Amino acid sequence: MAYKFALCLTLPHNTTKMKKKTIILLILAAIVGLAQFIRPDNIKKYENGVKTEDLAGVPKEVNEILRNSCFNCHSSSSELAWYDKITPVSFLVASHIQEGTEVLNFKDWMSMSIAKQKAVLYYSINKIRSGEMPLSSYILAHPAAKINKNQMQVLEAYLLSISARGKTDSVKLKALERDHKWVKPALNGIAYMPDYRNWKAISTTDRFDNGTMRIIFANEVAVAAIKAKNINPWPDGSVLAKAAWTQEIALDGSVSTGQFVQVEYMIKDSKKYAKTEGWGWARWKGDDLRPYGKTINFTTECISCHRPVRENDNVFTIPLNLK
Amino acid sequence: MKKLLMISTHILILINLFGCGQSNVNVLNEGASVLALNELPENPLLLHPLSSSINPNNNTMATLYGNDLAMDHVHANNDYDYPAGTILYEVIWKQKPDSLWFGGNIPGEVLSVEQIVFNDKIKPTYKLYKGNGLQVKQRAKDTLERVKLIISQRLAVSP
């Protein structure tokens, strides 16, 4: 009887408790449900982003590892799991991607020089080795992203294969670097012209004032103008390229070409470049061929330096007669 | 005052005319050019420039030229085993000061042209062209040393 009484007393109490629980759960669900309307601005961009292409010049298996473990936060396209898209997790994911792409974005792979690409891979592998990457919180939610021993060996073997000391490798790298798509145009929009090494030399200079030596190359139009002795003014279409190297001085005092310093171009088009003395001016510096100058006005510097030879159509070089 | 202004204007116009006359002269570095082939089989200056060097002790400067085979070889390899058919020319000039830039030297007169031809034989052939009109020298000295020195030059590397 006592038991029955107790049951009678407790039942209504339990029901209220359960109702309370349900209400709380419902409220929570409603909050979570409503929260889904509030999503990080950039998450949509990431989930709908164009799929980042495989990294050019990198073996398939290396690509797969990087895509699987790094691309979600280090490229402009992310393959998100369903739970990544739920608020508040989506905010965490979005901030990871934001920070990740700021540091390294594999989308920019093609615009990196070969040397830079190699540096990026070394940087990445060392982050993985130290356990910093992929982030442990990320692996917790995405266990498949963890890089296992075998995958690590694949990455290491690949990096060693492109880093062998010796001539063959550096030459191979050079061959690859001759694809110059990664070189940025000059600030005035002039595109880099990699062909100049196939042009004819119209002179050389020993610039003992600044320790450089130069070879001045001319394209076909300019060479034809030299042959016709028609270089004042130079005809439209003429291009002169002046490449400079440091002077490497041997023990006996003889000097040979050392480190590449820069290549600078003068492109004749009297109409297009009427405002800059009829020439398009451009310069790329260093092995990574950085476009020279901070603003488009860098050409005023070129012109003012060439001012003393205005009578020679602004050209310092006195060409060899290439008959 | 007006007269003075007129005179100075005239002077300015004269200077300008004189200046224009000068600027129409096409200046080429004829003295540093190979104007006549004479005994040379071809004009080396029309081949690919591979590298450049300076000898301050002698006030000379040189450019190493090569044919297509030479160019292809140095761009793909780092050794001196040029394939048969390769032709190299080392052209040496006396330096002269650059009249347009204080602080620079440019090629003056051509002192010599050395030709190295790689064929199927072990040793490449060497010829020296020297003197007025660049005549071939029959008894060139230190031939082996010169060949070694010339072919050991590395390509002026650009990215």
Q: How many CB atoms are located within 10 Å of the residue A81 CB?
A: 14
Write down the ipTM of this complex: 0.84
Out of A138, A161, A184, pick the residue that ends a domain.
A161
Flag whether A36 is in a domain: no
Span A62-95, pLDDT tens digits = 999 998 899 888 887 777 777 777 777 778 778 8
In a domain, A30, yes or no: no
pLDDT at A41 over 80: no
Contacts of A67 (CB under 8 A, 6+ apart): A52, A54
Residue A248: which of B72, B32, B157 has the closest Cα? Answer: B157
Listed as ranges, residues in chain B with pLDDT below 50 are 1, 5, 9, 11-25
Split into its structural domains, chain A has a count of 2
pLDDT digits (tens, 9 = 90+) for A205-253: 999 888 899 999 999 999 999 999 999 999 999 999 999 999 998 888 8
Per-residue model confidence (pLDDT) at position B21: 40
Domain CATH code at residue A282? 3.50.70.20
For residue A30, is pLDDT > 90?
Answer: no
- Residue B124, domain member (yes or no): yes
CA distance B124 to chain A (A): 23
Residue A289: other Cβ atoms inside 10 A: 21
Q: Which residues pair with B49 in a beta bridge?
A: B65
- With bands split at pLDDT 50, 70 and 90, how would you rate the model's confidence at A315? very high
A223 and A307 part of one domain: yes
Which of A109, A139, A161 terminates a domain? The answer is A161
B19 inside domain = no
| Of A109, A144, A161, the domain-final residue | A161
Exposure on the CB side of residue B79, measured as CA atoms within 13 A: 5
The residue behind tokens 């071939």 is B136
Closest-CA distance, A205 to chain B, in angstroms, reads: 5
Q: What tokens appear for A12 in the block? A: 């209504």
pLDDT at A166: 41
Q: Which domain holds residue B85?
A: 30-151
**Is B142 among the domain residues?**
yes
| Closest chain B CA to residue A243 | B158
A39: pLDDT strictly greater than 80: no
Give the number of domains in chain B: 1
Partners of residue B35 in chain A, C-beta under 8 Å: 321, 323
In a domain, B157, yes or no: no
The CA distance from A257 to the nearest CA of chain B, in Å, is 6
User: Is A200's CB within 8 Å of B25's CB?
Assistant: no
Residue B89: CB atoms within 10 A of its CB come to 28
| 3 state DSSP class of A100 | helix
Across A114-123, b (16+ Cβ under 10 Å) vs e yields beebeebbee
pLDDT higher than 90, residue A288 = no
Residue A170's pLDDT band, with cuts at 50, 70 and 90, is: very low
Asked if A229 lies within 8 A of B48 by C-beta distance, the reply is no
Contact B75 A174 (CB under 8 A): yes
Give the structural domain span for A205: 194-312
For residues A45 and A120, membership in a common domain is answered with yes
Residues B46-68: pLDDT tens digits?
999 999 999 999 999 999 999 99
**Residue A277: strand, helix, or coil:** coil
On whether both A146 and A199 belong to a single domain, the answer is no
Interface test with A, best of B28, B89, B90, B96 (most A CBs within 10 A): B28
| Residue A70 CA to its chain's centroid (Å) | 17
Same structural domain, A229 and A156: no
Q: For residue A9, is it within any domain?
A: no
